[in-house]
């Protein structure tokens, strides 16, 4: 029921150290932000042009959203303190591999939950697009079919409770949840959107495997780089006169963005 390339089966587990002072690598500390998992329609986040799964919010009102020890700054507090006031966000898009600055106006009146209408979690954006599982074939009357997974255009990118960091994470998650409803974040290339899917893995549906679908993992099964999404195209284009300039210290590069932030703080 799983299509796992042989190379993926032998990949070493990718170990991540916790933020423990000198043991935490500088790169891991730098390349983190608030991962935008979902954006509600007609929400402040939608109005700001945030893109689910591919966008990471790395700074707000000129301040990095990561502390010196690698822990997350309180982004929710920033939103609370600026209701009905534009908050300038620096957003790194992993698909366009570039940053842009957007204005988000937190609101209690937009008609949905939260001040921004987005689901976020703090994590690293290094290799963010690599740990995805491509849904290949979905078999009739299977748990995958019942959950609405779509062949070829769906990519399983995570769960509300787990960040995928290794090739085996998804398979371990399925094995630990046999017979239990499991929520998955799924990106679809046709709709260019992330949705939440609930699937119940089981071996009693009448076919092979507990999901009833084949999945691919690895270089050939990563989300394709598309240039048709207007938000992603805009993220790659230079800003026009009158638009806000990119925050110069927050442009991720080989050395990350924290060093630049520290340099500006010294200048101030």
Residue 165: pLDDT band (50, 70, 90) is: confident
What are the pLDDT digits (tens) for 56-85? Answer: 999 999 999 988 887 888 999 999 999 999
What are the pLDDT digits (tens) for 122-157? Answer: 988 888 788 899 999 999 999 999 999 999 999 998
DSSP string over the chain: -----HHHHTPPP-----S-GGGS-HHHHHSEEEEEEEE-TTSHHHHTT--TTTEEEEEETTEESB-TTSPBP-HHHHHHTTTTS-EEEEEEETTTTEEEEEEE---S-SSSSSSS-EEEEEEE-TTTTTS-EEEEEE-TTSHHHHHT--TTTEEEEE-SS----STTHHHHHHHTTTTS-EEEEEEETTTTEEEEEEE---S-SSSSSSSSEEEE-SGGGSPP--S--HHHHHHHSPPPTTSPPP-GGG---TT-SHHHHHHHHHH-
Is the model's pLDDT at 228 over the cut of 60? no
Is the model's pLDDT at 110 over the cut of 60? yes
Mean pLDDT over each residue of the chain, to the nearest integer: 77
Task: Taking residues 89-106, report their average pLDDT.
Answer: 92
Share of the chain above pLDDT 70, in %: 73
Residue 15: pLDDT band (50, 70, 90) is: very low
Residue 90: pLDDT band (50, 70, 90) is: very high
What are the pLDDT digits (tens) for 196-212? Answer: 999 999 999 999 899 99
The stretches of 110-204 forming alpha helices (DSSP H) are 143-147, 169-175
Task: Taking residues 218-236, report their average pLDDT.
Answer: 64
Is the model's pLDDT at 27 over the cut of 80? no
Is the model's pLDDT at 195 over the cut of 60? yes
Is the model's pLDDT at 25 over the cut of 60? no
């Amino acid at each position: 029921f799983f299509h796992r390339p042989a190379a993926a089966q032998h990949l070493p587990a990718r170990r991540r150290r916790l933020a423990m002072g000198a043991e935490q690598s500088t790169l891991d500390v730098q390349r983190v932000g608030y991962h935008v998992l979902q954006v509600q329609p007609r929400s402040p986040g939608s109005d700001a042009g945030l893109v689910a799964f591919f966008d990471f919010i790395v700074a707000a009102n000129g301040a990095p959203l990561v502390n010196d020890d690698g822990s997350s700054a309180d982004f929710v507090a920033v939103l609370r303190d600026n209701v009905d006031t534009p908050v300038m966000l620096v957003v790194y898009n992993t698909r366009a591999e570039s940053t842009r600055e957007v204005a988000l106006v937190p609101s209690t009146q937009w008609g949905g939950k939260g001040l921004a209408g987005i689901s976020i979690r703090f994590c690293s954006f290094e290799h963010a697009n690599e740990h995805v599982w491509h849904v290949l074939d979905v078999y009739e009357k299977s748990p995958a079919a019942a959950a609405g997974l779509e062949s070829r255009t769906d990519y399983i990118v995570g769960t509300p409770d787990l960040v995928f960091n290794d090739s085996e994470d998804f398979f371990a998650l399925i094995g630990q949840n046999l017979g239990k409803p499991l929520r998955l974040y799924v990106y679809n290339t046709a709709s260019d959107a992330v949705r939440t899917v609930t699937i119940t893995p089981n071996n009693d549906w009448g076919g092979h495997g507990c999901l009833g679908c084949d999945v691919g993992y690895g270089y050939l099964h990563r989300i394709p780089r598309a240039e048709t999404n207007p938000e992603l195209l805009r993220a790659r284009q230079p800003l026009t006169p009158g638009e806000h300039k990119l925050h110069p210290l927050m442009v991720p590069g080989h050395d990350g963005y924290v060093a630049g932030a520290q340099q500006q703080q010294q200048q101030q």
